[in-house]
Amino acid sequence: MDYLSVANVAEKWGLSERTVRNYCSRGKIPGAFLTGKTWNIPENAVRPDRVNKRKGQPKTLLEFLKAENAGKVSGGIYHKIQIELTYNSNHIEGSCLTHDQTRYIYETNTIGIDAGSVNVDDIVETANHFRCIDICIDQANFTLRESFIKQLHLVLKSGTSDSRKDWFAVGNYKRFPNEVGGRTTTEPEEVAGKMKELLTCYNAGKNKTLEDLLEFHYRFESIHPFQDGNGRVGRLILFKECLRNNLVPFIIDDTLKMFYYRGLHEWPSERGYLTDTCLTAQDRFKKYLDYFRIPYDDKPHQDV
């Protein structure tokens, strides 16, 4: 192979000799090597992209979220999702924080209280939930694993009064039986095996549909693997998997809460209740996307 000098390459690429030397020293030109103080550059070397080369515009919701998060953009879709998903998911589980208080915590790291009192756990879990959403965005394209699910629970419950209880396993599966809606759930001794079985089944297929996600969600909530926080962790997983599979996410709000609960209860015999509820929530989420001019796949809903 023939090699060129820094001067030759600089002239060939239309760059300064200093820039070419920097490329070589930083390992950006494969095959370049030093002889004494002289760089030898392969004749067929390709010019590296400049560090400040402008990237293309985001094309998917996930790309928009990553870009806005990295750029600390305020008032965009990332900002909107942090507040709406956190407020509504916590509110379903009994948080007494208002929508405005949730927004203030996110935007100013403070909380306004006009009268009465606020449960400290509600504040801590709200701040923690913001971090959980970031984790879902950062790891959206990774295969769903037990370690990720346990990480969400660890972050969500860290610093709460539950985390100071010896028997409460933060970031790990439950130690004592629990119920959901008056219904029994998987025994603690069987949770690890059931979760491995669920994830193996779920990860076996590719190109997940909404029905696949809802089936996972139903089975996850039926297992109820953690002592507390299962609903919020489950909905965070749904959000992450929607991003991964380029499906429009959805947020269950107060008007849909009872339909959501009914859908989970009836899923084994009638899948339409939960599906219709989530499709309605998806349609509402599309209004956010339309407002922020974010493209999405708007294929007609399939019968499921």
176: DSSP letter:
S
* pLDDT per position as a tens digit, 114-159: 778 899 999 999 999 999 999 999 999 999 999 999 999 999 999 9
Q: 281 with 237, same domain? A: yes
* pLDDT per position as a tens digit, 68-118: 999 989 999 999 999 999 999 999 999 999 999 999 999 999 988 877 889
Q: 193 with 254, same domain? A: yes
Do the annotations mark residue 120 as ligand-binding?
A: no
Q: 184 with 285, same domain? A: yes
| Nearest alpha carbon to residue 5 among 293, 69, 24 | 24
Q: What percent of the chain has pLDDT over 90?
A: 76
Backbone angles phi, psi at 124, to 5 degrees: -60, -45
Least confident of 19-23, 218-222, 271-275, 299-303: 299-303
Task: Give the domain extent around 127.
Answer: 61-291
Return the active site residues.
224
Do the annotations mark residue 261 as ligand-binding?
A: yes
CATH code of residue 208: 1.10.3290.10
Q: 85 with 211, same domain? A: yes
Average pLDDT over residues 231-258: 97
Distance linking the first and last C-alpha atoms of the chain: 60
pTM of the model: 0.81
* pLDDT per position as a tens digit, 16-45: 998 998 888 877 888 888 887 889 998 888
The crossing angle, in degrees rounded to 10, of helices 77-92 and 272-291 is 150
The tokens for 130 are 């913001």
Do the annotations mark residue 230 as ligand-binding?
A: yes
